[in-house]
Amino acid sequence: MKVLVLYDYPPSPGGLATQGDMLYKGLCEMGVDAHAAHFNSDQEKEWYYKWFKPDVVIGVGYWGHTPEIVLHPRSFGMNAVPWLVADGYIANYQEVLNKLPLILVTSTWVKEMYVRDGIHADNIEVLPVGCDTKSFIPRDHKDPKIIAVREALGVNPEELMILTIGGDAASKGGQEVMHALSQINDEVPDWRYVCKVWPQERTTTQNSADLNLAAQLGIDKKVNFQTNRISRNFVPYLIGACDIYAAPSRLEGFGMPQVEACSCEKPVLSIKAMGPLDTMIHGKTALLAGVAKEIILCETILGAESGFTEGKRIVFDKPRIVDYRASIPDIAEYLKMLMNDKSLREKLGKAARLRVVENYDYHVVAEKFVNIVRRKLQIN
């Protein structure tokens, strides 16, 4: 089997790039003849089509990337298979996607979103994102590299470090976590909440709102926002430095940092909805807060990024759930349990890593991809 993988290549530290890169590495290491190219590089893609003649071209993205990862390879007679995430509403390209023999999605919830918005269920298969379980491993807090991370973050040795990683913190449930921490502040050991976010205009605005909230809650001296660029090489040590990983996300099609935290044997607090329902088991490998609120929209405005002219107004036939809010009382209860019980943290962490190694190691995911392609497309 010859496979061309289209993603943000060479990989940036972002989620979609890592998703593609883990699959590419897994395929190469299992002996599949595979190459990678940037999904936007038409000239390079065409070059591979002509001499490599791949059996399948898999493109990583969301439905808005259909022109780059589906239409382009199909225009050259290639067998295109998109591997898609969801952003709450699939607004376009239903006709194109429904003609494909195979669509891959990152979780059961993402499949449900595509089916809800008009994509046929029969040809949609769930393929989770792979994790490098040899890099994301348990690390002792006495490890000099872990000590250096905590010192750089201003976290004292006696403090419990709670960590959230995302493009911004609010989308990963950071505001809900802060509300919960303010409620239990006097009932738990000393703590520090670290939010690692990505530098961008949207994040700057959101950080300001989040820091204002922390001040209003009276916990601003215990909340640390880190807005800088880091490589994927640093992430295992950043996660390794924390005691609890918290991400009761508002929208989560898979939750790659959560799975990576599980691989590091960290107790994870997430939300009982969306992607985390696939990747974690409440009470066994993680603690999942209930859904307190569903954000529902009746219409939206889209533009060129979605294949429309600017200002395209779409009124839904039925109101759509586009966002969630986790229960703050649940988050508070579960944080209190984890912060006061080291043995519980260790128990959840060990069970979580076993589940990740078995189901989400990138070699396992690559093998699953090959099996799906062989079964659905009859390609050897």
Q: Model confidence over 122-166: pLDDT tens digits?
A: 999 999 999 999 999 999 999 999 999 999 999 999 999 999 999
- Please say if the pLDDT value at position 302 is more than 90: no
Q: How many domains does the chain have?
A: 2
If you average pLDDT over residues 288-299, what whole number do you get? 94
Same domain, 190 and 229: yes
pLDDT at 199 (0 to 100): 85
Same domain, 101 and 191: no
- Please say if the pLDDT value at position 256 is more than 90: yes
pLDDT at 26 (0 to 100): 98
Cα(346)–Cα(264) distance, rounded to whole angstroms?
11
| CB contact set of 83 (below 8 Å; sequence gap of 6+) | 19, 20, 23, 58, 59, 60, 61, 104, 105, 106, 127
- Tens of pLDDT, residues 8-66: 999 998 899 999 999 999 999 999 999 999 999 999 999 999 999 999 999 999 999 99
Cα(252)–Cα(312) distance, rounded to whole angstroms?
26
Percent of the chain at pLDDT > 90 equals 87
Domain membership of residue 317 (yes or no) is no
Domain membership of residue 102 (yes or no) is yes
pLDDT at 22 (0 to 100): 98
Domain membership of residue 301 (yes or no) is no
Average pLDDT value over all residues in the chain: 95
Domain membership of residue 220 (yes or no) is yes
Cα(164)–Cα(246) distance, rounded to whole angstroms?
5
Domain membership of residue 251 (yes or no) is yes
Weakest mean pLDDT among 226-240, 273-287, 300-314:
300-314
Are 79 and 57 in contact by the 8 Å Cβ rule? The answer is: yes
pLDDT at 235 (0 to 100): 97
Domain membership of residue 204 (yes or no) is yes
Same domain, 20 and 116: yes
3-state helix, strand, coil in the chain (%, to 5): 45, 25, 30
- Tens of pLDDT, residues 214-254: 999 999 999 999 998 899 999 999 999 999 999 999 999 99
| CB contact set of 94 (below 8 Å; sequence gap of 6+) | 117, 118, 119
Same domain, 352 and 365: no
86 is in which domain, residue-wise?
2-130+361-377
Domain membership of residue 118 (yes or no) is yes
**Structure-token pair, residue 126:** 């769930």
pLDDT at 90 (0 to 100): 85
Same domain, 196 and 342: yes
**Structure-token pair, residue 34:** 């595979």
Same domain, 205 and 68: no
Domain membership of residue 55 (yes or no) is yes
**Structure-token pair, residue 140:** 């002792």
Percent of the chain at pLDDT > 70 equals 100
Instruction: Find where tokens 């959230």 sit.
Output: 164
Same domain, 91 and 224: no
Same domain, 277 and 366: no
If you average pLDDT over residues 163-170, what whole number do you get? 95
Report the CATH number that the domain containing residue 112 is assigned in CATH. 3.40.50.2000
Q: Where residue 73 falls among pLDDT bands split at 50, 70, 90?
A: very high
Same domain, 36 and 163: no
Same domain, 38 and 167: no
Give how far the C-alpha of residue 106 lies from the chain's centroid of Cα atoms, to the nearest Å.
9
- Please say if the pLDDT value at position 308 is more than 90: no
Q: Point out which residues pair with 3 in neighbouring strands.
A: 34, 56
pLDDT at 88 (0 to 100): 76
**Structure-token pair, residue 279:** 């990747």
Same domain, 106 and 188: no
Are 245 and 173 in contact by the 8 Å Cβ rule? The answer is: no
pLDDT at 314 (0 to 100): 84
Same domain, 84 and 166: no
pLDDT at 113 (0 to 100): 93
